[in-house]
Amino acid sequence: QVQLMQSGGGSVQSGGSLRLSCAVSGSTVRTGCMVWFRQAPGKEREGIAAIDGGDGRTNYISSVKGRFTISQDNAKNTLYLQMNSLKPEDTAAYFCGAGAKYPWSCLLLQQGLYNYWGQGTQVTVSA
């Protein structure tokens, strides 16, 4: 059974940094496709970053590109999201996802394409 356990997050002022972690059990990040999504109050959940564990390719939405970095530690079997230059509009609950349903769907930022999700962690950025 695949389980994703998130940690990190919290409150920070605008311009600050945070790192989110997602520890994976029951699967390996080295061969999988993993993503980070977020959901702000009153908005739909949106995909923000994806990584192909096999070759390290990444994909980001434009609003976080250059500020956020998705990465993985194969030895720790853990996914990360390093968030720099945070803005108030980054305030949301953040979720890691894994287990792309189809080989061709790796790196796509659509929620329905992934089977497993973390419990979520709150990130709050104040102005």
Judging by beta carbons within 10 Å of its beta carbon (0-12, 13-18, 19+), is residue 92 exposed, middle or buried?
Answer: buried
How far is CA 116 from each of CA 13, 25, 36, 63, 66, rounded to the nearest angstrom? 31, 11, 12, 25, 27
Q: 100 or 35, which is more confident?
A: 35
pLDDT averaged over every residue in the chain: 94
User: Is 60 within 8 Å of 51 (Cβ atoms)?
Assistant: no
Three-state DSSP at 59 gives strand
What is the DSSP annotation of 67-99?
A: TEEEEEETTTTEEEEEE-S--GGG-EEEEEEEE
Q: For 49-71, how does the pLDDT look when each residue is reduced to its tens digit (9 = 90+)? A: 999 998 999 999 999 999 999 99
